[in-house]
Amino acid sequence: MTIHPEAEWTPPGVDVDQPSLARVYDALLGGAANFAADRTVARGMRTAVPDVVDLVWCSRAFTGRVVDFLVREAGIRQFIDLGAGLPTIENTHEVAQFASPAARVLYVDLDPVVEPHARAILSGNAHAVAITADARDAHAVLGHPETARLIDLSQPVALLAIGLLHLIPDREDPHALVGRYLSALPSGSYLAAANMLAGLTPQAQALAAMLQMAMGTAHFRSREAITRYFDGLELVDPGVVHFPQWRPDDRLPGPLTPWEELLLGGVARKP
């Protein structure tokens, strides 16, 4: 019988030989919640798309700035993070609870390996939990027992759809999906949404093609289609922009790299 060196910390029921997209993402971030099979896939992605690590860190930094704004400036204390992956390496609960220890975070992911990993990672954190659910089923997510336990839907909630919408094809209508969630949330709630932007330059188009091959699925959309996620909401300045341009921490963003051109998102308030 083969003994894996990771066996001491492997959550029950997790197959270390089967790569998981959530753990591959963690490996790209340099996290520890991944196994050899995941690291092999991550190496393949880095070979196919050398900028992929910069891309995932840019996305993580955007999420961090958004969550910090929502807690410190917008006064939000509840988060539902759709398609969240593993809650490691500067993730939503870490940023939110650093700003306000009472902040509550519900992570939602369809990958069944996320919940057992998250249970180990979040052990002892009464204000953060991960559930296994299909984010495309808003009724199931919002009606989940853990959602009812952690999230008060009568009070403002921040809905994060930053790593999800580019995985949903047009035939499943991601705009209507966002609308179903928002219709269940009260006034004063916020949407943070993003989607990979259809490349405007030959370099961006080439990178998009490589990403689609490496990820297996990715639906790139126009600026107009991405902006439509926020229809009927009050956009927060600076609006729908490339990730580095959304309230940068300590520098004015310079010319965008081809991979930065692919990342577009924003934040808006439900009136």
Residue type (1 letter), 75 = G
Amino acid at 211: L
pLDDT per residue as tens digits for the range 102-136: 999 999 998 777 787 788 889 889 999 999 999 99
- The pLDDT, as a whole number, for residue 54 is 77
What is residue 204's predicted lDDT score, i.e. its pLDDT? 65
Bridge partners (DSSP) listed for residue 109: 132
Q: How confident is the model at residue 253 (pLDDT cuts 50, 70, 90)?
A: low
Per DSSP, the residues of 57-91 read HHHHHHHHHHHHHHHHTT---EEEEET-----SS-
Per-residue pLDDT, averaged over 7-21, amounts to 63
Among 8-12, 60-64, 69-73, 238-242, name the one with the lowest average pLDDT: 8-12
Amino acid at 230: F
Instruction: Give the closest residue to 34 by CA, choosing from 86, 90, 108, 111.
Output: 86
- The predicted model gives 205-216 an average pLDDT of 65
Residue type, position 147, single letter: T
CATH class, range 65-246+255-269 = alpha beta
Two structure tokens written together for 5: 């060196």
Q: What is the pLDDT of residue 7?
A: 46
Q: Looking at residue 28, what is its pLDDT?
A: 74
pLDDT tens, 143-155? 999 999 999 999 9
Average pLDDT of the chain is: 86
Among 48-52, 134-138, 224-228, which is the least confidently predicted range?
48-52
When mean pLDDT is compared over 60-69, 116-125, 243-252, the highest value belongs to 60-69
pLDDT range class, residue 5, cuts 50, 70, 90: very low
Residue-level pLDDT at 258: 76
Whole-number percent of the chain with pLDDT over 70: 83
Q: Which residues contact 259 (CB under 8 A, 6 or more apart)?
A: 51, 52, 54, 55, 58, 204, 207
Determine the pLDDT at residue 252: 61
Q: What is the per-residue pLDDT for 12?
A: 59
